[in-house]
Structure 1
Amino acid sequence: MSSTPKLKRVCIVGAGASGMSAAYALSKHPDKFQVTVFDKQSVAGGMATSIDIDADKYGASYINDGVQGCSPVFANTLRMFRMLGFEPTEVGMQISFGKGENFWTNVFPSELVTKFQKDIAKFGRALSTIKKLEPVFAAIPVHTMLRMFGFSTEFGERMVYPLVALFFGTGNQTPYISSAILERVFMDPSMRLFEYDEKSLLASIPTMLAFPKLHDVYQAWREEISSRGNVEFKLGNEVLRVLSRTAKKDGPVRIEYQLGEGDDGSEQHIAAFDELILAIDADSCLKLLGKEATWRERKVLGSVKYLYDVTITHNDLEYMNKYYETQYSPKHNAPLSAAGSAQEREQMTEAFDFAAHKFRPLYYTMQYDQDKSKIEMSFDLTHYQPQFRGEKPAGPISPSDRSEHRNECDPLSDYARRAQDEKGGRPGESARTGMDADGKPEPPLEKHVFQTIFLDRDGSQGLWTWGEIRGEKRIHEKWWKQQSHRWQHYVEVVPWMMFINGKQNTHYAGAWSVLNMHELAVTSGFAAAYRLGADYPFHGDEDCERLFRLYLMLSHGVRLVRHPRPEAPSCNDLERRISSGRKIARGYSHDGAGCHRILDS
């Protein structure tokens, strides 16, 4: 009689999007893996957090404060959320760049767009060239690319830099971003955020998706992962250091961690594992590895540059009106004489009429007069997030909807069921005395919740205007550590990840390994689990697989096997089927919720 196979013990450090994705993929193989997830925070989610606000004052009981939403092409994120019982909300992505004569938007043509018409037309040709020569342009920063193609300095400062900062959250490192990545977000089907327009630079008002309540999404995700019994979450427990990855006794990986409050105080413990997934930022990886880091790891991980930003969530409309264009004004309209044909003039007039009634910016940028390459960014969270219009925390999803993998996890977690309750959209009703562009109740502009991001503490704090946001209008302040997407990242980090992944029983997961997007964080976690022997959870879904295949090859140097790895039915399945007198099938499969099912012959 064969002995029971030994489970591979996996330690995951970090319970953000990448760590949770890795844990989810591994949890679907309870006969192969025993997983422990550590995070020093008391809740899962990493940067994807929600905070409570005064519903009676602002019109909603919470905001998502770290991650706002995503593009509709982020297939892995969307499928995961829908399976858990959560649905993002469609929202028109209107932007407001600059102030006064330097204002422009994707909603209607302004004088600034007319001024740079030749540069805008040339920009499309530049993107095509960059696409053809992507390996070369990966090492060319945006500011150099603009000079190479003969763009005016002011076009770069007023239009290109704000766009890049909006795409990546790169802030005041924007001129140094890789040109190839800029091309990707315009033209890559898995990463595209905007479509290029030869007349206005941006195609008007793309559809974006605003996330449901992220706190509830991640708690539901944790419950789903835990339901299979082979994953333990140690939240509120901080991993202090990696003691070994080549130990001979009890397992090669040994870590030291500190129990969180409510356990044994500050007592430190040692645990042994077979494999390690570091789903944290590169700086933190190096800190944990210490002397255990190889020279390759020190070189690659040490080349990731981080910036420190602060977000101030507030209700200061006076501040917003001082630095941004928050409402439509016909004084910004491009002259009709700039149109080349009667049809173009008609289209411009229609755009002006639309803006007069429906100008609702989600994103704002402001450039500092002292240095126009450096900016400040803001969001109108009331325009962006659907709970301010009475949407329930789960988003616009019906509990009975099973289409496109919705509500596929069975049973749904308590968090998902509560978030789907229609009553969840009621908090703040008394404050929703205004109307949105479609006539739906929302708070009036003076009650809107804004979030302003002050970027690059070490290089730009002297320019910040954060002191002008009145104290009584402030709701929340939070510091963030953000990856810089400077061109060196795509020369010194991205091509070399495959040479450190899988070495010393260690895999790395995190959006920082390529590009700071939630979708890439999710994909990176799936890739780390795949390397350890787990199936890619969404096999056969071409929309999901497209980016996964690319990431797996880029960061791990591995190709995706077309079919899931064969897996034996569990003992419980066999016993259940045998006891019921049913034949065991010749084959077996797994459903999207991770529940293994034997097929009847």
Structure 2
Amino acid sequence: MSQNGNSGKDGRKRVLVVGAGAAGMSTAYHLSNHPDKFDVTVIDSVDYCGGQAFSIPLDKDRHGASWFNQGVQGGSYIFHHTLTMFARQGYHADPVELQVSFGKDDRFWTNVFPTGFLAKHQAEVRRLAFMLRFMRWFEVVFALLPLKLVFKLFFFSDEFTNVVGLPMTALFLGTGNATPEVPAIMLERLCTSPTYGMWYPVDEDSVVSNHPPMVVFPNFTDFYTAWKKDLESRGVTVRLSTELTEIVHRNKRGVLVKTKPRTPAKDGHNPVDGDPDAPESEEHYDELVLCVLADTAKKVLGKTSSWRERKVLGSATFSDDITITHHDADYMKKYYENFYDENKAVRVLGKNGDRDQSSRLEYARDNFRPMYYIRMYDGDLSKLEMSFDTTNYQSQFPDKVPFEQHVFQTIYLNKDRDRKHWTDGEIAEDKIIRADWWHQLCHSWTHYLLVVPWMMFLQARRRTRFAGSWTLVNAHEVAIMSGIAAAVDLGADYPEDLEHDRFAFLSFRLYYLLAYGRWYRRRFQGSGSQKAKDGAGWASGLYGSVYKGPGVPTEERSTWREEVKAGRSTENLADGNNGRSQP
């Protein structure tokens, strides 16, 4: 832990947390567990808490639910810190088994049933399984090689690489059109890790045949609002619509910053560079935690930044993407496979055509409900478009809704480079619910060579720490852990219950070692408290990786049943044929 002096009149460290997203809220929460040691202030330039995670209102009568989550929708059972925080604030995620739909027509494949595309590429499907095993054996050699290079080394066709290999990686990590450049270890671990490998185990006949168990998150606006109120009840000052404009100095005397007030937008999303004439004021703190993107951190550090900070933070690359939320079923039918089609399914696979797939076809006939989609552009198969059927995925929606009334999200990636491929103009304007621009991290191999391993040399230097998912991989769980790590490095304790959740504690220790270069020592070893007993019971499955705590019930769509009682969701909007309007 870095040793920094106190300058507050009451002897407490005055800590400024910049950013009220998952990382900033997590930092403030864990510091607030020690009100005698820390005086915490959280600021954000927008007028809501949650960062990229927020909820949007919907027409309940049309879609069956009055809201849906934008930006962040769900995660994995390995997200122990996230799920525990849901429970602490009185919320829960819901279980879901993921179904995907990749490609269109003769390039279509899915994890639910085998298709003609997989039958056509049986030799490459088997080679992929071998490649992943080989990479597991010699992981240190392949770890940082870009994915596109590894597929070439193993002589995969461009079609198979772009239709199978890249989408499998892009789906879970949100790597988008940077996927060809991501480190190969990402795909390898997704397929070979028995704990966090969402595609584990790989199917040697059809690439993947499992339905990855995932969790879908609660109403994020409600959750973050409750979290904000909890922080304030603990003595944390939360100032929204407050922008950090300049860091004047960071030295032995502390941190001097300039802030200005922002005019709250109606939806809380204050525009960038707004209120240019707002008056600035100076504020003094002992410690600074920057829970903002790397390029934003570099910008606000300004003249106080060191060469090392400029070099590391400047090596993180980003792209500008847009998410269009809509209910244009015709667009989805044109570019994606949404329904089970007997003509695209195959009944046998295998080298000798002896692997019967009839049971999978029978299941898919009535139960194929894709949630995640990826489209490859015909003009360049290495460029992707991603979509979500949020009605199928998010748990506040009724179980049965006609397809024409589903809510979809389509994501167009990398505006500067790939705008020419976009077909956003084909979505009917009268069916667009909302459009949101995102400044997204590119998970290229350079990020894991030039940014991630060097963060430990920036942390706690000149009274400044950095937190956010970009410090490792773009996931809500990483953001939460990064906030805990910043708080711990300032002198807070890691929570007692989570210390006894062996998977959560190991995950945190490894993150803290990577981000700060230090191994966190136990504080509650041998504790027989109720907190310790509770936490020990949350870790189940292999190595304790499967969360089994109050943050996740066992029944799917339990949120829908709760929302119906609260009048915020409707009963089923359709009957028969699973209510999906399948042809």
Q: TM-score, normalised by structure 2?
A: 0.84
Q: 1:380 corresponds to which letter in structure 2? A: D
Q: Does 1:267 align with 2:265?
A: no
Q: Does 1:92 align with 2:50?
A: no
Q: 1:270 corresponds to which letter in structure 2? A: E
Partner of 1:482: 440
Once the two structures are TM-superposed, the CA of residue 115 in structure 1 deviates from its matched residue by 2.1
Q: Check the 8 A contact 1:138/1:487 in 2, yes or no.
A: no
Q: Check the 8 A contact 2:322/2:413 in 1, yes or no.
A: yes
Once the two structures are TM-superposed, the CA of residue 247 in structure 1 deviates from its matched residue by 5.4
Partner of 2:327: 315
Q: Distance in 2 between matches of 1:131 and 1:5?
A: 54
Partner of 1:508: 466
Once the two structures are TM-superposed, the CA of residue 224 in structure 1 deviates from its matched residue by 2.0
Once the two structures are TM-superposed, the CA of residue 564 in structure 1 deviates from its matched residue by 4.8
Partner of 2:232: 226
Partner of 2:300: 288
Partner of 1:414: none
Partner of 1:416: none
Q: Check the 8 A contact 1:301/1:493 in 2, yes or no.
A: yes
Q: Distance in 2 between matches of 1:89 and 1:41?
A: 29
Deviations 1:174-220 (A, max 9, x none): 11111122223334466432212222212321121111101111111
Question: Is the partner of 2:251 in helix, strand or coil?
Answer: coil
Question: Is the partner of 1:333 in helix, strand or coil?
Answer: coil
Q: 1:486 corresponds to which letter in structure 2? A: S
Deviations 1:70-90 (A, max 9, x none): 011111111111222111111
Q: Distance in 2 between matches of 1:52 and 1:292?
A: 42
Q: 1:536 corresponds to which letter in structure 2? A: Y
Q: Which moved more, 1:180-189 or 1:90-99?
A: 180-189
Partner of 2:511: 551
Partner of 1:472: 430
Q: Distance in 1 between matches of 2:225 and 2:91?
A: 12
Question: Is the partner of 2:323 in helix, strand or coil?
Answer: strand
Partner of 2:15: 10
Q: Distance in 2 between matches of 1:267 and 1:564?
A: 47
Q: Does 1:48 align with 2:53?
A: yes
Q: Check the 8 A contact 1:190/1:547 in 2, yes or no.
A: no
Question: Is the partner of 1:388 in helix, strand or coil?
Answer: coil
Distance 1:519 1:317, change over 3 A: same
Partner of 1:379: 388
Partner of 2:209: 203
- Which residue of 392, 397, 407 corresponds with 1:388? 397
Q: Check the 8 A contact 1:107/1:355 in 2, yes or no.
A: yes
Q: Check the 8 A contact 1:247/1:254 in 2, yes or no.
A: no
Q: Distance in 2 between matches of 1:187 and 1:535?
A: 34
Partner of 1:461: 419
Question: Is the partner of 2:239 in helix, strand or coil?
Answer: strand
Q: Check the 8 A contact 2:113/2:209 in 1, yes or no.
A: no
Q: Distance in 2 between matches of 1:203 and 1:273?
A: 54
- Which residue of 127, 146, 158 corresponds with 1:153? 158
Question: Is the partner of 1:366 in helix, strand or coil?
Answer: strand
Partner of 2:72: 67
Q: 1:256 corresponds to which letter in structure 2? A: K
Q: Does 1:193 align with 2:198?
A: yes
Once the two structures are TM-superposed, the CA of residue 560 in structure 1 deviates from its matched residue by 1.1
Once the two structures are TM-superposed, the CA of residue 462 in structure 1 deviates from its matched residue by 0.7
Partner of 2:241: 236
Q: Does 1:561 align with 2:521?
A: yes
Q: Distance in 2 between matches of 1:17 and 1:234?
A: 16
RMSD: 2.3
Q: 1:39 corresponds to which letter in structure 2? A: D
Q: Does 1:111 align with 2:132?
A: no
Q: 2:239 corresponds to which letter in structure 1? A: K
Partner of 2:81: 76
Q: Distance in 1 between matches of 2:413 and 2:340?
A: 27
Question: Is the partner of 2:124 in helix, strand or coil?
Answer: helix
Q: Distance in 1 between matches of 2:252 and 2:280?
A: 19
Partner of 1:166: 171
Distance 1:532 1:591, change over 3 A: same
Once the two structures are TM-superposed, the CA of residue 563 in structure 1 deviates from its matched residue by 1.8
Partner of 1:34: 39
Q: Distance in 1 between matches of 2:507 and 2:403?
A: 39
Partner of 1:213: 219
Q: Distance in 1 between matches of 2:182 and 2:336?
A: 25
* 1:388-407 matches, cutoff 5 A: 388-389=397-398
Q: Distance in 1 between matches of 2:149 and 2:335?
A: 29
Partner of 1:542: 502
Q: Check the 8 A contact 1:73/1:192 in 2, yes or no.
A: no
Partner of 2:569: none
**Which of these two proteins has the greater Rg computed from alpha carbons?**
1
Q: 2:227 corresponds to which letter in structure 1? A: W
Distance 1:202 1:138, change over 3 A: same
Partner of 2:132: 127
Q: Does 1:326 align with 2:284?
A: no
Q: Which moved more, 1:28-37 or 1:556-565?
A: 556-565
Q: Distance in 1 between matches of 2:251 and 2:483?
A: 23
Partner of 2:143: 138
Partner of 1:279: 291
* Percentage of identical aligned residues: 43
Q: Distance in 2 between matches of 1:26 and 1:528?
A: 9
Deviations 1:10-51 (A, max 9, x none): 110001111111111101001111100011111110001101
Once the two structures are TM-superposed, the CA of residue 329 in structure 1 deviates from its matched residue by 0.5
Deviations 1:408-456 (A, max 9, x none): xxxxxxxxxxxxxxxxxxxxxxxxxxxx4xxxxx321111110000001
Question: Is the partner of 1:288 in helix, strand or coil?
Answer: helix
Partner of 1:584: none
Q: Distance in 1 between matches of 2:45 and 2:525?
A: 34
Q: Check the 8 A contact 2:246/2:259 in 1, yes or no.
A: yes
Once the two structures are TM-superposed, the CA of residue 67 in structure 1 deviates from its matched residue by 0.6
Q: Check the 8 A contact 2:122/2:351 in 1, yes or no.
A: no
Q: Distance in 2 between matches of 1:99 and 1:21?
A: 41
Q: Distance in 2 between matches of 1:216 and 1:190?
A: 30
Aligned length: 513
Distance 1:191 1:242, change over 3 A: farther
Partner of 1:428: none
Question: Is the partner of 1:486 in helix, strand or coil?
Answer: coil
Query: Which runs of structure 1 show a deviation greater than 3 angstroms over 4 or more consecutive aligned residues?
Result: 131-136, 187-191, 337-342, 587-592
Q: Check the 8 A contact 1:119/1:155 in 2, yes or no.
A: yes
Deviations 1:368-398 (A, max 9, x none): 1111100101000110111112xxxxxxxxx
Q: 2:395 corresponds to which letter in structure 1? A: P
Partner of 1:421: none
Q: Distance in 1 between matches of 2:232 and 2:502?
A: 28
Unaligned regions of 5+ residues in structure 1, if any?
390-435, 437-441, 567-586, 593-601
Partner of 1:423: none
Distance 1:178 1:510, change over 3 A: same
Distance 1:185 1:309, change over 3 A: same
* 1:561-600 matches, cutoff 5 A: 561-564=521-524, 591=531
Partner of 2:372: 363
Once the two structures are TM-superposed, the CA of residue 118 in structure 1 deviates from its matched residue by 2.5
Distance 1:134 1:225, change over 3 A: farther
Once the two structures are TM-superposed, the CA of residue 92 in structure 1 deviates from its matched residue by 1.7
Q: Distance in 2 between matches of 1:50 and 1:33?
A: 31
Partner of 1:575: none
Question: Is the partner of 1:271 in helix, strand or coil?
Answer: strand
Q: Distance in 2 between matches of 1:544 and 1:338?
A: 39
